[in-house]
Each structure stands twice: as C-alpha cells, then as structure tokens.
C-alpha cells in the first residue's frame, strides 16, 4: 500500500492511498468463486455457470463492492502509517480510474487532531473565594422559607409596599386601548417590580374602592414592539388590599418541610447543611470556571470542524429535550457554535492535562459524588444503585470526576489567592 499526504488549510489533510492490483484482484476473484458456487442462470445447472460468464455478469458489481470495503479497511491503516490522527470521518473523493496494472486509488480528505503542548501556567492567578455559612445566613434563609409559606389577609387600610392589591385596570395609548391593556381582579405585590416602572408606586396609599389615573411610559426595551417607549394612561381601581402573613417558625412549620422529628432545631440543621453544600458547590464552580478560562487563554488552538459539528448537534439535542422533545423546528447553528467550540477546545486541552499529569480516575471520588447527589433523595441507596447499574450513567459521573482531578492538577501549577466573600454574594441571594 502506497500513501502520500498533502497538507491543506489548517488541520485539513489530503491523503492518497494506492492498493496494489494483486490485492484487489485476489479479493475480487475470491468473491466471484463464491458466487459461482450458487449462481443460477438459464441454460446452466446451479453452480455450473462458467467463470467467464460469472465475471462478465458480476465482475463490475463485485469490484465496486471490494473498492468500498478497501476504503474502510485501508483508511485508518494508512493514517496510522503516516502518524495521523483523524478527527471525524473522511470525505472520499471520486475514485480515480485504475491504471493499466489495475491498482486501486482513492483520496481521503479529513481533519487531524491538533497537536497540543501544555503552556506554562506559572503566571496564572486563581482567586479562591473563602466564605462560611453563618447563623445570620441561616436566619435569612428561614425568612425566605417563611415567605414561601406566606398567606394573604385582607385589610381595611391604605396599601403599603409589600402588600398585595387586587385591581382592575384599563390602559390606553394615544387614547386607544391596546391588547393586554385591560384586566379585572388582577393581583400584584407592590414593590415586586412585576408591572412597568411607576405602576406599583402609583398605588401606594390607595384604599379599596379607590380609582387612580397613572400616566406612565413603556420602557424602550418593552417586548411588545408597538408599545415600546410610548406613553400610556392606566385607569386603575383597587378592589382589595391584603397584607402578608408569615407563619411562625415552630414545629408545625418544620413539619411542612418534611421534618417529622427534632422540630425547629432539626430544620435549622438541615437548612445549614443544604446551604453549606450549595456554598461548596458555588466555590468549586467559581474556581473551576477560572481554571477553564485560564486553560483556554493559554492554548489558542485550531479545533477540527468535524468535532464542533458533533458538539453542535449534541447541544441541539439537549436543548430539544429541555423544551419537551419538540423537534418540529430547527434550532439555528449559531445558537450553539461558540459554546460548542469552547467545549471541544477544553476537552482536548483537559485530555492533554490528564496525560501530562498521569492522572488516573479516582474511583472513591466517583463513589462520593454519586452518594452526595443521592443524599438529597428519599431513598439514597436506590439512586446509587441506579448509577452503578448502568455503564453509560456512571460514565457521565466519571467524566466529571476526571475533569475535577484535572482542575486539581492545574491548581497545583498556578498561583491561588484567597478572596474573602460571603454566602449571599456567592449564591446570588444578596439583596
């Protein structure tokens, strides 16, 4: 087998492969003989058709079949011979005519995997958030839980911020009503920001039965294009004013969150444990994101288009599943291309980190990750068995763990500076 390679643009390679005529003829002859054993033709008994007729009848078809299989069987051998690592399937150009000697030739066009040399990370600085869950943080979380269980009680007084008002309203733009500008018995909480700017503020101090005229302006980025930036007049009648009633933090409150024994103290412990897990995840995520950004910045490599295409399709599939599996519309490629390129690049660089660091998958960390995930379910053991009962399901966890181990290796080769923070800032729950 003779092989020649030409470098194209970027990672593209054009590889021409020539297979000796003897190899082609030998395989063609072998298959024709097999056909001859059972061939049926008028005028001949089964298996007694002369080889000359079998060749004339089946020779072209068999030769094309052999050519197709030769492409599959010789492509990767030829690539290995030239020390090439194909990325994706090749594009086979139209087969050339055989020469007088009957040799078989084809040209495969494909991309190769990029060669990656890990760059020095000595100057990279990773900021490590340092925070803990305080008693005050737990109190704030319990307050949020109280608001989740809040009820509303009608009151006979003017509305204040934080009250729920039940209203009827009619809106007009340039004196004309518009779609969606009218409602009856509509409820909104003053200060929630659910309505356009000025609407809720204009109802502070209003009592049940009172009507107010609000002269406002739709924001420039209002989603209804015909209304964006336009002045609007609302006639609003307050039907009811209700104040929020928060439940007491007692054993009954604890039971509403599934705490059957231990009361409020057990609830506080559970809340704190959940918050600490969330905090640890957020810190880990912040650090990992910085490491990934640093790896991308240090390794501006060419990425095979074939791998990007595969990742785009994977992201499309995931998005369709999140949307309920609706495949009646085509999601545009540009929605996913940037993220796909980032993922592929990081995958290649992380693989090189694993190789350079001689990193082996830590089975104990895999087990711990599965168990930590399962801990939030009613029957943790069932969840653990679910993952360990499927090679594919467990492989997903193993991939994450191996990536985490690679991040740990990187952290040993960069500067890590602690950065004081707090639970609210790291979890996005600050006011």
- How far is Cα 189 from Cα 195, in angstroms, rounded to an integer? 9
Q: Which CATH superfamily is domain 2-112 in?
A: Trigger factor ribosome-binding domain (3.30.70.1050)
Instruction: Tell me the per-residue pLDDT of 268-288, one tens digit each, with 9 for 90 and over.
Output: 999 999 999 999 999 999 999
pLDDT of residue 260: 87
What is the domain class of 151-245 according to CATH? alpha beta
Region(s) of the chain under CATH 3.10.50.40: 151-245
Q: Which residues contact 275 (CB under 8 A, 6 or more apart)?
A: 133, 137, 138, 141, 423
pLDDT of residue 101: 57
pLDDT of residue 327: 57
Q: For the chain, what is the radius of gyration of the CA atoms?
A: 35
Beta bridge mates, 242: 154, 164
100 pLDDT band, cuts 50/70/90, is very low
Flag whether pLDDT at 411 surpasses 90: yes
pLDDT of residue 95: 63
- How far is Cα 199 from Cα 308, in angstroms, rounded to an integer? 48
Q: Please give the structure tokens belonging to residue 249.
A: 């933090």
Q: Which residues contact 23 (CB under 8 A, 6 or more apart)?
A: 70, 104
Q: Which of 36-45, 164-173, 373-382 has the highest mean pLDDT?
A: 164-173
Flag whether pLDDT at 1 surpasses 70: yes
Task: Find the range with the poorest average confidence among 46-55, 176-185, 224-233, 289-298.
Answer: 46-55
DSSP tally for the chain: helices H, then strands E: 11, 11
Q: Work out the mean pLDDT of the chain and round it to a whole number.
A: 90
Task: Find the range with the poorest average confidence among 1-15, 147-161, 200-214.
Answer: 1-15
pLDDT of residue 53: 81
Region(s) of the chain under CATH 1.10.3120: 125-134+260-427
CATH architecture of structural domain 125-134+260-427: Orthogonal Bundle (1.10)
pLDDT of residue 325: 64
Own/partner pairs for 25-32, CB < 8 Å, 24+ apart? Answer: 25/102, 27/66, 27/70, 28/59, 28/62, 28/63, 28/66, 31/62, 31/65, 31/66, 32/58, 32/59, 32/62
The phi and psi torsions of 122 (rounded to 5 degrees) equal -60, -30
pTM of the model: 0.74
Instruction: Tell me if 24 sits within 8 A of 66, measured CB to CB.
Output: yes
Q: Please give the structure tokens belonging to residue 408.
A: 């740990």
The phi and psi torsions of 245 (rounded to 5 degrees) equal -115, 115
User: Distance from CA of residue 209 to its chain's centroid?
Assistant: 51
Tell me what the mean pLDDT of segment 79-94 comes to: 89
Q: How many C-alpha atoms does 403 have within 13 Å on its Cβ side?
A: 20
The count of other CB atoms within 10 Å of the CB of residue 234 is 22
Region(s) of the chain under CATH 3.30.70.1050: 2-112
Beta bridge mates, 397: none
Flag whether pLDDT at 214 surpasses 80: yes
Q: Which of 49-63, 129-143, 305-319 has the highest mean pLDDT?
A: 129-143
């Amino acid at each position: 087998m003779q092989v020649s390679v030409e470098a194209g643009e970027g990672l593209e390679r054009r590889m021409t492969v020539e297979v000796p005529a003897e190899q082609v003829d030998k395989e063609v002859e072998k298959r024709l003989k097999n056909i001859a054993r059972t061939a049926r033709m008028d005028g001949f008994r089964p298996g007694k058709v002369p080889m000359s007729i079998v060749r004339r009848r089946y020779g072209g078809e068999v030769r094309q079949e052999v050519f197709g299989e030769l492409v599959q069987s010789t492509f990767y051998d030829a690539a290995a011979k030239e020390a090439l690592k194909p990325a994706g399937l090749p594009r086979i150009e139209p087969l050339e005519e055989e020469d007088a000697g009957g040799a078989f030739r084809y040209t495969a066009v494909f991309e190769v995997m990029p060669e990656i040399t890990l760059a020095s990370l000595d100057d990279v600085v990773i900021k490590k958030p340092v925070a803990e869950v305080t008693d005050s943080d737990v109190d704030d979380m319990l307050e949020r839980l109280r608001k989740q269980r809040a009820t509303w009680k009608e009151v006979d007084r003017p509305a204040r911020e934080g009250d729920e008002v039940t209203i009827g309203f009619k809106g007009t733009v340039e004196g004309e009503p518009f779609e969606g500008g009218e409602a009856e018995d509509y409820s909104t909480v003053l200060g929630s920001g659910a309505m356009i700017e000025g609407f809720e503020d204009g109802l502070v101090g209003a009592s049940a039965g009172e009507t107010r005229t609000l002269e406002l302006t739709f924001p420039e980025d209002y989603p209804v294009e015909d209304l964006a930036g336009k002045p609007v007049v609302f006639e609003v009648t307050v039907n009811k004013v209700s104040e929020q009633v928060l439940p007491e933090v007692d054993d009954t409150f604890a039971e509403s969150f599934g705490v059957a024994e231990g009361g409020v103290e057990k609830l506080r412990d559970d809340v704190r444990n959940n918050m600490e897990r969330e905090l640890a995840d957020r810190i880990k995520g912040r650090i990992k994101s910085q490491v990934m950004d640093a790896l991308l910045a240090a390794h501006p490599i060419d990425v095979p288009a074939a791998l990007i295409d595969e990742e785009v399709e994977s992201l499309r599939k995931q998005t369709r599943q999140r949307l309920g599996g609706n495949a009646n519309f085509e999601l545009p490629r540009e929605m996913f291309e940037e993220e796909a390129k980032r993922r592929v690049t990081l995958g290649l660089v992380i693989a090189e980190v694993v190789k350079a660091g001689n990193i082996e998958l830590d089975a104990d960390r895999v087990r711990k990750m599965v168990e930590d995930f399962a801990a939030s379910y009613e029957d943790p053991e069932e969840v653990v068995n679910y993952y360990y009962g499927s090679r594919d399901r467990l492989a997903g966890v193993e991939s994450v763990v191996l990536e985490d181990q690679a991040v740990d290796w990187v952290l040993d080769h960069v500067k890590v500076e602690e950065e004081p923070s707090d639970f609210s800032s790291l979890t996005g729950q600050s006011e």
